[in-house]
Structure 1
Amino acid sequence: MKIRVLIADDNSFIREGMRIILNTFQEFEVLDTVGDGKEAVDYCKANEVDVALLDVRMPTMNGVEATKLITEQTKTKPLILTTFDDDEYILDAIRFGAKGYLLKNNDPERIRDAIKSVHSGNNVLQDVVLDKLKTTMDGMAVKGSAAFESPIDRTPFTERELEVMSLIAKGFSNKEISKELFISEGTTANYITSILNKTALEHRTQIAIYYLTGKTR
């Protein structure tokens, strides 16, 4: 069965170009294209859409707001297609349920692979986007300092889990967390699994955002 895709972009040249590109791949069925976030939400509510490609800056309702409603009200998986100028939206888009964040200037094959990965239940964050996200986090969280106090409810978590969350928010890898806390990488992975179970989050980037903002959605 083909992956059913909706394209939402206020630039008609981009959305029709994307339709043409995706239709060259046998894996996809482009159901329709729309010009703003509200149209995307309404379409996903009325139709069975597997993956919605959403631009960030759109009239009436932007891609971040549309992501939130699509995630809450449908089974469609939102994938943000954006430009570098939109990096201020990364945190909110992921917090609201975006399954991927990809730059528009990627090769068609990269976009194809991202759609397939998101459809399979994975999360896609392009390296350059992830780097920008880490930079944003570094600016929000003061490393090794009590100057930043996470707004989360600390009750469900052990002190060690809170330490792991703090380091994830600072962009540490599992290996770096293990070295910092003098524990094995397997133990670090177990803590992360426990945190995901307690928060109902899906991946470490969402853990970082939760730790910094106190919000899971």
Structure 2
Amino acid sequence: MLRVLVADDQDLFRAGFGLILGSQPDMEVVGEAADGESAVAAAVELRPDVVVMDVRMPGMNGIEATRQICAATTAKVLVLTMFDLDEYVYDAVRAGASGFLLKDIRRDELAEAVRTIAAGDSLLSPAATRRLLEDLVRRPSHDVAPRLAARLGELTDRERETLRLVARGLSNAEIAAELVVTEHTVKTHVSRMLTKLTLRDRVQAVAFAYESGLVVPGGSDTGDHAHD
């Protein structure tokens, strides 16, 4: 049973999300919060598997709440917002969010999103992914890429290739087909890659791949390919 915490300052959204998720046979809504500070306190106390987090809330906003929750617990955070703005995507990912969706998604999409990130996968809407990558291109710091690129040396060739394919948006099954290995082997590569780079999930891996220069938006990846 997945334990879910819902954080939103609007009663209607909070109640609606709670009803949708609470009606799922594999989920239990263990708590609600109307602001960021309450969300952090509830996450620490209740230890949910997933926190559904609004961005704009009074006092501590959802981005800062996400940052504190990810630092203090093992909960995965799914950020929902009505505002499809660049800085929210970038900041949510930087704060440790595992998913980012707009509030106009269907109820079945919300439940499936919670299951997806609870299982350890990441979730960004196509629009959010595009905005994140565009933002990463706009924000490069002259000293960030070399520093991150140096960390790529910690990876084996196969782990680096796996990171490239993750950054291209391929699923584990698609990566397995690309590299001609089993899906279990891919999961092992992904897990080791995330551990070595101290990344929470695939969303952060995508950001890392672009910020380090391993993958270039609109261009070819750097380095050699084992399978093209």
Normalising by the smaller structure, the TM-score range is: 0.7 to 0.9
Question: Does 99-108 or 124-133 show the bigger shift?
Answer: 124-133
1:150 aligns with 2:150: no
Structure 2 CA distance, aligned partners of 1:111 and 1:77?
14
Distance 1:211 1:27, change over 3 A: closer
Local SS of the residue matching 1:150 = helix
CA shift digits 1:33-65 (9 cap, x unpaired)? 211111000011111311110001111111111
Distance 1:64 1:26, change over 3 A: same
Q: What CA RMSD, in Å, does the superposition of the two structures yield over aligned residues?
A: 3.4
Pairs within 5 Å for 1:1-217:
2-141=1-140, 150=145, 152-158=147-153, 186=179, 196-203=194-201, 205-210=203-208
Distance 1:200 1:66, change over 3 A: same
Displacement after TM superposition at 1:118 (Å) = 1.3
Gaps of 5+ in 1: 175-184
Distance 1:64 1:151, change over 3 A: farther
**Alpha-carbon contact 2:136-2:211 (below 8 Å) kept:** no
**Alpha-carbon contact 2:34-2:57 (below 8 Å) kept:** yes
CA shift digits 1:126-178 (9 cap, x unpaired)? 21211221222233359xxxx786262544434x98xx79x96xx7567xxxx
**Alpha-carbon contact 2:140-2:211 (below 8 Å) kept:** no
Give the aligned residue type for 1:201.
L
Displacement after TM superposition at 1:210 (Å) = 3.7
- Corresponding pairs, count: 193
Gaps of 5+ in 2: 171-177, 181-185, 213-228
Give the aligned residue type for 2:198.
A
**Alpha-carbon contact 1:77-1:119 (below 8 Å) kept:** yes
Structure 2 CA distance, aligned partners of 1:62 and 1:96?
12
Displacement after TM superposition at 1:211 (Å) = 6.1
Local SS of the residue matching 1:152 = helix
Structure 2 CA distance, aligned partners of 1:203 and 1:53?
17
Distance 1:51 1:149, change over 3 A: closer
Structure 2 partner of 1:181:
none
Distance 1:212 1:32, change over 3 A: same
Displacement after TM superposition at 1:117 (Å) = 1.2
**Alpha-carbon contact 1:3-1:29 (below 8 Å) kept:** yes
Structure 1 CA distance, aligned partners of 2:140 and 2:148?
17
Distance 1:124 1:149, change over 3 A: closer
Distance 1:148 1:73, change over 3 A: closer
Distance 1:195 1:4, change over 3 A: closer
Distance 1:51 1:43, change over 3 A: same
Give the aligned residue type for 1:129.
A
